[in-house]
Structure 1
Amino acid sequence: MIDVSLGGRTPNSPSGSNPSDLFQILRDGRPRTRSELAGMTGLARSTVALRIDALMKLALLKPVSDAISTGGRPSTQFALDPVGHSVLGVDVGASHVRVAISDLTGGVVEESAAELDIAAGPREVLDRVMRMGSELVSTAGDRVGPLIAVGVGLPGPVEHSSGRPINPPIMPGWDRYDVAGVLGAHFGVPALVDNDVNIMALGERELAWPGVDDLIFVKVATGIGAGVISGGVLQRGAQGTAGDLGHVYVARGAGVSCRCGNTGCLEAIASGSAVARALSTEGAAVATSGEVVELVRQGDIDAIQAVRQAGRDLGEVLTTCVSLMNPSTIVIGGALSAAGEHLIAGVREAVYTRAMPFATQHLEITKSRMGADAAIAGAGVLAIQSALSIERIDAMVAALGEDRD
């Protein structure tokens, strides 16, 4: 079950003052009766009944099997209706587009993918996204309800509040393009946009590590970035650049130029492209992360050592993150993570050696469980969190004009 930020309130301690409080309780997937909900919220049963009726009219709740009777007529239970609405998740990569329509638990109903160069520009790429998305909505038919939100991941910096890419290095023509506005207008629902590593962190945490509230997801591919989840909430920072690990200075990279214009950046020595570049200078015919991984799988000693060193360099930066944030889990994803334990062993070596034992005694450093599905899953999570937010639910109920105590 996808979680959602409750703005300081939790299903275990609802205020009961808004329709969304009752709805958030039921989002955990456990059916409850009107009496149970009245006891949990402190509301009168008549008020609970009104709010349940409104939420059912909105196709957000549904009645389920009756509770066990203790004598007399069994009480009806209510729970989230997972197929009452749907969301669209969009994963735009450097050379691909993947689109999926999901129910309100994140379960994928239909999906499609296509190869497409991000450098083709926003109009061509988004036109393709809109065609693919519209086809999926049509194909899904009656299996899910109407579309309620769209979530998008892009391979570059994004101003989350506006949904606009900001000076994306591998996305010519996309700077400040109104991605959220274009997609929102086409589909007629709110569109949320974030960078790819943030949505990967969302997908990984919600669907693979649902019980983990403090997690760092690190993507190691052409570049290096991290999605930071603290207290169960994705942390974007003041300008949306939280987790930009790739441009942290590393002593071993002193003098090595980075695409950002500085020297000594982690990305310049430990990214997949940096490892490939270092191996090619030694005579290996490699140019991409995938080709490095293939050499590792073939048992090439130079490639294995280079990947392990990249892990140590990454671990040096993550050691500071461990001291600063005290995560319980660090997940390594991205193309270079396919090299398996060689990269992760280097990370563990640095972190467990340098960080304080108290911070690492229960720390798990592991490979992504979601793999290539993390981004598309996270795009769906982004949409669901918006669609089922406290403010959105209260507004939907208020629009019915039926939330009268």
Structure 2
Amino acid sequence: MSRSLSLALPPAEPALSALTAAASVLAQIATSGEGVSRAALGQATNLSRMTLAQRLLALQTAGLVREGDSAVPSGGRPTRLLALDPTGAVLLTADMGETHMRLAVTDLSPTVLRQELVPFRIADGPEAAMERLAMGFGRLLSDLGGRRFVAALGLSLPAPVDHRLGRVYGPSILEGWDDFPLGDWLRARYGAPVAVENDVNLMAIFEHRRLAPRPDDFLFVKMGTGIGSGIVANGRLQRGARGASGDIGHMQFLEPGAPLCRCGKRGCFEARAAGWALARDLSNQGLPARNARDVIAQFEAGQPEAQALILAAGRAAGEALGHAVALLNPERIVIGGTLAHAGEALVAPIREVLRLRCLPLATSDLAVSAAPPVDEACLIGAAHCARELAFGPEGTEAFLLRYRSWLEAA
């Protein structure tokens, strides 16, 4: 994972001069996925062959772009595709929990290079947490060795988020953090763009990116201690006007004796099917349980009470998702979170209720599956968001200005 030898010293001055003019070229390459040909780049940027060659040379000399080893047919001579060099810079990502934060340094692919679990206390406040985060990032970068250019940062929070302001918004477990400018704090510390996002949205991005083929319209539902969802429409994450989209856990189903939700309302989907609600119901039946993990442990041990509750949770999820399917018409639904460990026992009743409640046009090709949680899901999802900030159409020029200054200081 070491940097190429060409970055041991600053590139020649002509290459540096051309570097900041290459923003449109770099943006096209960064968003191309598997790679892009020179011909396609020329068409997308409207640059002459000579100008394009100069800007590609600057990007390659700087270690930001590389040419693929294998050639692909092009109608004439085989051509090699150009892609972002994953070792050209790093991304810093953090996944904040209730008692620990998981920190990582990733390359630009993004692949986790180093990670660390750091304890913290919500009650100590956001600034204390950010200081611990920065110290952790410092250790991880030191462990990697060498000079590393930080392209962007991504922060995952277990709370509603105003992603434009980079702040916690509304009631959450991060009590007292609402007015603290997390994004601004990190930008001031690192001089790099910062993506601040809700954890379920980042899980949705992670699951969406690893599906093959990747659906344009996708719904991820986290069923753990709480319930939330992430929505991808036309290939892009949908946050809503204030970042509150996907709050499926508090869709209400009013009926006689509807259970009380921890939000204070009655009949919420969460109050019927979240891990905390199933643990409540299991305890009421004489099998002590505190959370979703305890429910799954009882389920895997073959306890019929736990198995019945998982079946009921699947049916409740089917009712809630029936409304979502009618509104969004997704091509794929993935159920994640701790309760997803139940697999088909949870997913089969969801499919059955959707089949009964939704129009055949919406369900005939709808795939519903379970994906047990991955520890790095939020980290990698945050890295995708951070990379999009750094290399999007509005971020690439600023990235190259910072990168050029970093090279000149080498």
- What is the TM-score with the length of structure 2 in the denominator? 0.85
Contact 1:99 1:111 in 2 (8 A): yes
**2:92 aligns to what?**
88
Corresponding residue number in structure 2 for 1:247: 250
Give the Å deviation of 1:273: 0.1
CA contact (8 A) 1:22 1:37 kept: no
Between 1:112-121 and 1:93-102, the stretch displaced more is 112-121
Q: Secondary structure at the match of 2:376?
A: helix
Which residue of the other structure, out of 111, 114, 119, is the alignment partner of 1:110?
A: 114
AA at the equivalent of 2:175 = P
SS class of match (2:263) = coil
CA deviation after TM superposition for structure 1 residue 255, in Å: 3.6
Task: Name the structure 2 match of 1:60.
Answer: 64
More deviation, 250-259/347-356: 250-259
Q: Which residue number corresponds to residue 5 of structure 1?
A: none
Partner of 1:202: 205
Q: How many corresponding residue pairs?
A: 382
- Tell me: CA distance 1:221–1:69, structure 2 relative to 1, closer, same or farther (3 Å): closer
Distance 2:111 2:84 in 1: 14
Question: 1:162 pairs with 165, 179, 185, which one?
Answer: 165
Percent sequence identity over aligned pairs? 37
Note the alpha carbon deviations across 1:258-293, whole angstroms, 9 max, x for none.
222221111111110001101111211111111000
Kindly provide the amino acid, as one letter, of the partner of residue 197 in structure 2. D
Kindly indicate whether the alpha-carbon contact (under 8 Å) linking 1:184 and 1:191 is maintained by their aligned counterparts in 2.
yes
Cα-to-partner distance string for 1:83-142 (whole Å, 9 max, x where unaligned)? 101101111112321111111111111111134443443233222211111111221224
- Unaligned runs of 5+ residues in structure 1 are 1-16
Deviation string for 1:220-247 (max 9, x for gaps)?
1221110101111000000100000111
* Aligned residue runs from structure 1 range 42-81, under 5 A: 42-56=46-60, 59-65=63-69, 78-81=82-85
Secondary structure in 2 aligned to 1:391? coil
C-alpha displacement of 1:365: 0.8
Superposition RMSD on alpha carbons, in Å?
Answer: 2.9
Aligned to 1:312: 315
> Partner of 1:260: helix, strand, or coil?
coil
1:330 to 329, 333, 352: 333
Q: 1:338 to 1:108 in 2, by over 3 A?
A: same
Match of residue 230 from structure 2: 227
* Corresponding residue number in structure 2 for 1:4: none
Contact 1:204 1:370 in 2 (8 A): no
Q: CA deviation at 1:160?
A: 0.7
Deviation at 1:307, TM superposition (A): 1.4
Q: Which consecutive residues of structure 2, in runs of 5 or more, have no partner in the other structure? A: 1-20, 406-410
Write the mapping of 1:84-163 to structure 2, written as runs, cut at 5 A: 84-142=88-146, 145-163=148-166
User: Within 2, Cα distance between the matches of 1:213 and 1:69?
Assistant: 27
What does residue 383 of structure 1 align with? 386
Q: Please show how residues 1-20 of structure 1 align to structure 2 within 5 Å.
A: 19-20=23-24
SS in structure 2 opposite 1:148? Answer: strand
* Conservation of the 8 A alpha-carbon contact between 1:96 and 1:118: no
1:353 to 350, 353, 356: 356
Gap change, CA 1:360 and 1:117, over 3 Å in 2: farther
Query: In the superposition, relative to structure 1, how do residues 210 and 178 fare at CA in structure 2: closer, same or farther (>3 Å)?
Result: farther
Query: Who is 2:15 aligned against?
Result: none
Contact kept, 8 Å, 1:27 with 1:79, in 2: the verdict is no
Distance 1:335 1:188 in 2: 37
CA distance in 1, matches of 2:200, 2:256: 23
2:189 is the alignment partner of 1:193: no
C-alpha displacement at 1:47, in angstroms? 2.3
SS at match of 1:378: helix
Instruction: Name the aligned partner's letter for residue 103 of structure 1.
Output: D
In 2: Cα distance, 1:106 partner to 1:348 partner: 33
Structure 2: which amino acid aligns with 1:24? Q
SS in 2 for 1:185: helix
Partner of 2:220: 217
Aligned counterpart, 1:8: none
- CA distance in 1 between partners of 2:286 and 2:80 (Å): 71
Whether the aligned pair in 2 keeps the contact of 1:315 and 1:350 (CA below 8 Å) is yes
Q: 1:175 aligns with which of 169, 175, 178?
A: 178
Task: Write the distance in 2 (CA, Å) between the matches of 1:258 and 1:53.
Answer: 59
- Asked whether the equivalents of residues 167 and 176 of structure 1 are also in contact (C-alpha less than 8 Å), the reply is no
Structure 1 residue 208, shift from structure 2 partner: 3.9
Shift of 1:191: 1.5
Separation in 2, partners of 1:44, 1:314 = 55
Shift of 1:252: 5.1
2: CA distance, partners of 1:76 / 1:358: 42
Say whether the 8 Å CA contact 2:89–2:150 is kept in structure 1: yes
Query: What letter matches 1:149 in structure 2?
Result: A
